[in-house]
A and B are shown apart, each in its own frame.
Chain A
């Protein structure tokens, strides 16, 4: 099974900060990597698919990069609506696996 490791598990940031979250796979997954945002009490929401493609309707301050085993989600200028938990997920092979999540909190 492919394990997905996110870092950090939590971070504190201020509005306007540039935030970077990393996700590492235990083997190459090409670009089969998706990023989701989840707010408390809500279902997850797709932000980035295929490592770097922005889902329709998602603000352009979100971007994704990487291929192979190392991936990054970047929020260029953190907004109040962005405080949430972020998950990466590989769709290269089953079992599909998620990272453990990164909680972005207000500093």
Chain B
């Protein structure tokens, strides 16, 4: 079955770095656009970033631009999020998600269960 499994979350100090991974299975990963979406504790959903099926185009929320980098390894069916210069306001559950299509964001049809990132001293 279609599955997205995130890993790499944890507790990190302000200014630190973390890399999240998302292992995809059950579909042709290399054909679909992928997202990271986050949700702060008790808050709503916030789009973070999107990457095209081939990795050629990437889009970021202003709140993470210049600090976070999305990438993918289609040979390993894995999505990544490199997070640098972390701030307290980055504390959230980070969801990996799959788009219906491949080239531009359309709709998120599959979500992972999320990995928690806590930025605290």
Residues of B bordering A, CB below 8 Å: 44-47, 50, 59-62, 95, 100, 105-109, 111-114
Question: Does the CB pair A95–B111 fall under 8 Å?
Answer: no
Question: Does the CB pair A55–B113 fall under 8 Å?
Answer: no
Set A46, A49, A95, A98: member contacting B45, Cβ < 8 A: A98
Say whether, besides A43-B95, A43-B114, A97 and B108 are in contact (CB < 8 Å): no
Say whether, besides A49-B100, A97-B47, A98-B44, A55 and B59 are in contact (CB < 8 Å): no
Give min CB distance, A17 to chain B, whole Å: 24
Question: Does the CB pair B105–A98 fall under 8 Å?
Answer: no
Set B61, B62, B106, B111: member contacting A49, Cβ < 8 A: B106
Give min CB distance, A41 to chain B, whole Å: 9
Q: For the side of the interface on A, what is the size category?
A: 20 to 34
Question: Does the CB pair B100–A43 fall under 8 Å?
Answer: no
Question: Does the CB pair A100–B44 fall under 8 Å?
Answer: yes
- In the complex, whether A13 has a CB less than 8 A from a CB of chain B is no
